[in-house]
Amino acid sequence: MTAIRLALLELRRFRGHPLRQLTLAALILVPLLFGGLYLWSHWDPYGQAGHIPVAVVNEDTGTEIEGRPFDGGTEFTAQLTSTDDLAWDLVDAERATAGLEAGDYYFSIVVPKDFSRQLAEPGPDRAHVTLQLNDANGYLTAGVAKSMETRLRQHITAAVYVASARTAFGDLAELDTGLDLAAAEAAEVDGAATLAATDAADLGGALSRFQTQSTDLADRIGRLDGSVNSAGARMVGQWPGIQDGSREVADLADGFSDRLADVYASLCPSEAAGSRACRELQATIGDSQRITDGIDGINDTVQDLSTADLTSAADEVSDLASGADRLATGLTDAESVATRLVDNTAQLAEGSQRVSVAVETAATAVPAADPAVNAAAAEVLGAPVVVRESNLHPAGEHGRGLAPLFFAMALWLFGLIAYLVLRTHNPRALSGRVSAATATVAGWLPAVGLGVVGAGVLYFVADVGLGLKPVAPMMALVSMVVGVASFVAIAQLVRLALGSAGNVVMLILLMVQLTASGGLYPLETAPVIFRFLHPILPMTYLVDALRIGVSGGDPANLWRDLLVLLAFGVAALGAGILVTMRNRRWTIHRLHPSVVPS
């Protein structure tokens, strides 16, 4: 008879009555009930810390600094209760003590009466707050309280930060609003100053170009003045002769016109006036008369213009040249002033920008009305260096980091309980001709099959229900299958060798492995005996394999862990076969066992 047929016969024992089938179902659910419930309860305890009730007592009476009130206790409690780290409850000292004693609060934070005074007057006795604990309400809560010490220091820093600012500046809201308005006005002034600097630069450029052009104009007018003065000097001496010549030319012109008129009268009487020659002569006489009129006009002008008038015109040209020189000089001075204006407006723009930045910085530095904002600002002041954290293989939630240990414990517990329901071997096969190896494997297979199903149920619920999401799902499942197969083989060996006393041994091994597997704390923190046992216990390797499957890690370590687990399983099966061979011989000890099962 083969081992598989014997294994099926073992499972057929649970046919018939529904209670038998429920027993197998319950056995399959053992890993889920143990590992799943533990994992669920530990999944995210730190994320739920906001539900832990804590009493806050403010007995601070405040003080004064330079005549201004200073209330550090009130500011501290405001900073504290603005966070949702814990469930803060502001109460008096009597209520806090009674609640701590009754278990209504896990711990209390007391601000002493002289808190503000100690802050305002630093000395040997530093300002402090008191954490009142009660380990009777839960020892691990004390660890939560002590972990809050850093946060409390940050809140105290924030309280000093804000209270000191209130003392120095009064109403922070009004100061903050005023500085915001000043920052806005300073920004507008900065913009106007920058625009003025740009305009001044444009003006300076225009003046520079105008000055160059005016200098060129002055040079041209100066040359004209020289020419006019030179020509005027010559004309003044010759002007009387010019006037006489002008009169003579005018007289000649008049005489010429008169003679042409006489010629026309003699050659063109009235009956011949319409001839072509007479018409052309008449046109010539007209042209001559117009020339004569022009010459007479010029002559009149020359006769009216005296030497004094020529001298005056030359003087006016000289005055124009002098004015052009003065204009060029003035524009040169204006250009120099514009250059200084450009420099000054540029400095003004830089200064206004610095003022704008300074006012804006001051507005930002004033503590806000929101305690959470002030707490963040104080944290920056108290810890100017930020520690940035990186994680090669982050576990994320607390429960996800503990899942390898809880899974391993659940599968070990399944092996322990499995042989309270199943038989380690078929008695008839043991007394018959079936080999010891077949009988042993046949007793191992049903438990392994149910264990694999139980491990799958545990994995599915943890992944879908809690969000386990392993980085290597297949390797996590393979690790659980190899682990349950190995643990069942060990449980079968212990039961075969020790009988019902093997259950106690399995439970002891579970406790030892819980501490020696390194699943909770770093192994270096454990006593020497556990560090010695760590590498020789099978759960060590399943925990490590599941860590790699869930959070990631070196695949080489994963394969090493699986090989070691397989070695434990094969060794346990081999030892189980030897024990089965021994059990085929009846001895006095077997007839009268030391421990008789109930």
Per-residue pLDDT tens over the stretch 27-76: 999 999 988 898 888 888 777 777 889 999 999 988 887 778 888 888 88
- Hey, what are 440's tokens? 């042993």
Output the pLDDT for position 560.
95
Output the pLDDT for position 370.
53
Output the pLDDT for position 170.
47
pTM surpassing 0.75?
A: no
Output the pLDDT for position 167.
53
For residue 279, pLDDT over 90 is answered with no
For residue 180, pLDDT over 50 is answered with yes
- Hey, what are 221's tokens? 């007018």
pLDDT band at 295 (very low <50, low <70, confident <90, very high): low
Highest mean pLDDT of the ranges 103-107, 233-237, 482-486 = 482-486
Output the pLDDT for position 415.
92
Residues paired with residue 111 on neighbouring β-strands, in sequence order: 58
Q: Are strands 53-58 and 87-90 parallel, antiparallel or unpaired?
A: parallel
For residue 313, pLDDT over 70 is answered with no
Using CA atoms, how far apart are residues 352 and 112, in angstroms rounded to an integer?
Answer: 48
Domains of the chain (ranges; CATH) run 3-43+397-591 (no CATH), 47-170+367-382 (3.40.1710), 190-362 (1.10.287)
- Answer yes or no: are the C-beta atoms of 173 and 369 closer than 8 Å: yes
Output the pLDDT for position 598.
44
The 10 Å CB-count burial string (b at 16+, else e) for 173-187 is eebbeebeebbeebb
In percent, the amount of the chain with pLDDT more than 90 equals 25
Output the pLDDT for position 107.
86
Tell me the pLDDT tens digit for each residue of 507-537.
999 999 988 988 887 888 888 998 999 999 9
- Answer yes or no: are the C-beta atoms of 161 and 367 closer than 8 Å: yes
For residue 194, give the 3-state DSSP assignment.
helix
- Answer yes or no: are the C-beta atoms of 436 and 580 closer than 8 Å: yes
| Among 117-131, 240-254, 420-434, 455-469, the least confident range | 240-254
What's the chain's length in residues? 598
Output the pLDDT for position 171.
46
For residue 333, pLDDT over 80 is answered with no
Average pLDDT, the chain: 76
